[in-house]
Amino acid sequence: MTEDEVRELLKQKRKKDRFQAIYGPVRIADTVIWELWVEFEEEYQTRFVEEQVGAGPIIYDTFQALSLKLQDRHLSLMDRLQKAEQAKVMDQAMLQSDLAMKAADGASRRFSAMMKDILAATGFAVALACFVYLVAIGQNAVAAIVMLAGIAASACAYYYGKFILVKFREVFGA
């Protein structure tokens, strides 16, 4: 609004007020405020005209009424900002939680794979030690063949990640 439009608004809405002076506009957030000095019942008084974006102008008879309205808007805005900030913090916490869960899952999988490899290698080493012992003593060739099968099974489990079952018919051709 221009000064002339503000004066015209005052003449229409407050017919008993005689215009004396106008100051402004002052911008506070999305609000433009004009200060008007008028003569009302032989006293000088102030009026405040508020223009808010998307709304019609409002005339306040006292600064206290205007300040209460502005304070309410300020508190409402601060409440919305606080809720938006809380939502942002919650989103970040959820994202961090998801990332931590994925990292923990990856670590658990790596540990499981490492334990599987350690157990397979341990079984391989024990079977190999038993095989070497039986061959060195020279007794019980069947036990040595069983140990050799154990070594092969352990090696398969270690290198391929699964136990490969060897069938009797495939070994002896029967």
- Domain assignment present for 119: yes
Residue 174 pLDDT greater than 60, yes or no:
no
How far apart CA 27 and CA 118 sit, in angstroms, is: 73
Task: Please give the model's pTM, rounded to 2 decimal places.
Answer: 0.51
Domain with 13, as residue range(s), is: 3-61
Q: What percent of the chain has pLDDT over 70?
A: 91
- Domain assignment present for 105: no
- Domain assignment present for 97: no
- How many structural domains compose the chain? 2
Cβ contact 131:121 at 8 Å: no
- Domain assignment present for 40: yes
Vertex 90, ends 94 and 101: CA angle to 5°?
15
Residue where a domain stops, chosen among 61, 87, 102: 61
**pLDDT tens digits, 137-171:** 777 777 777 777 777 776 777 677 666 666 767 76
Q: Going edge to edge, which strands form the sheet with 18-28?
A: 18-28, 31-40, 43-52, 58-60
Residue scoring higher pLDDT (131 or 81): 81
Name residues whose C-beta falls within 8 Å of residue 71's C-beta, 6 or more positions apart in sequence: none
- Domain assignment present for 74: no
Largest Cα–Cα separation, the chain: 130
Q: What is the pLDDT of residue 153?
A: 73
**pLDDT tens digits, 10-56:** 889 888 888 889 998 998 877 899 999 999 888 999 999 999 877 88
Average confidence (pLDDT) over 100-116: 88
- Domain assignment present for 10: yes
- Domain assignment present for 150: yes
- How far, in whole angstroms, is CA 166 from its chain's centroid? 52
Name residues whose C-beta falls within 8 Å of residue 34's C-beta, 6 or more positions apart in sequence: 1, 3, 6, 22, 23, 24, 25, 26, 48, 49, 51
- Domain assignment present for 45: yes
